[in-house]
Amino acid sequence: MDIIHSKSTSAWNWLKDRPAEHWSRSHFKDIHKCDILLNNHCESFNSTFLDGRKMPILGLWEELRMNLMIRLANRRCAAPRWKCKVGPRIEKLLKKYADLSHDYMAFESSHNRFQVKGRGVACASGVNSLHDVNLSAMTCTCRRWNLNGLPCPHAIACIYSKGYSPEDYVHEAYSQKKYMLAYEPAINPIPGVHEWDVVEKPIIPPKYTRGPGRPKLSRNKEPG
């Protein structure tokens, strides 16, 4: 906070009344295995219905139902074709972290616990970072592994030193089993409108009660 204050007083004023767990990774809870502050999934999903919004309500709901039905089915079909224990996006991130791990050296302290030393891209020039990595607990003092469940470059340096694979140290939330469970619910097909049962029921007008009008203003007569 002192550093932020030295850079921008307005930013410091905006942050000082907000709990740190709402905006700083240092205070995020590690139970969720997610290290991002904002979730734009809803906006991305909403963008697929730009044309559907112009439809009448039944057409919009049908467009939404079809989109979800196909999306869930595609996810269930894709997972069995994974080439490794995690999905393609996670595999790509692991390869990126693996490349960064070459900037660090791992020194084993005890069984599966390491002191990691190195100069990564996030470190100041000429400064070596030190981190405590515990492979058994799947934690690192940089907290990235704790937060998102993916071994960070420091952890991967330790994993490679033991001859293990980073895939074996990814949190189970990213496993194929959990992925399939997330997309297990299926949206069933429904018949077309021409096959619906016709219900002869009169349309009842909506209930309406007159609300309070504008209050009457009292007029005080001035003495004549």
pLDDT digits (tens, 9 = 90+) for 13-69: 999 989 988 888 888 888 888 777 676 777 777 777 777 778 888 888 888 899 889
Task: Flag the least confident range among 70-74, 122-126, 150-154.
Answer: 122-126
Confidence (pLDDT) at 216: 60
Prediction pTM value: 0.73
- H/E stretch holding 87: none
* pLDDT at 223 exceeding the cut of 60: no
Cα 83 to Cα 141, 151, 213: the distances in Å are 31, 19, 68
Higher pLDDT, 203 or 107: 107
100 neighbors 153 (Cβ within 8 angstroms): yes
Confidence (pLDDT) at 145: 95
Instruction: Round to whole Å and give the CA distance between 142 and 155.
Output: 10
**Chain mean pLDDT for the chain:** 86
Confidence of residue 124 (pLDDT cuts 50, 70, 90): very low
Instruction: Round to whole Å and give the CA distance between 77 and 71.
Output: 10
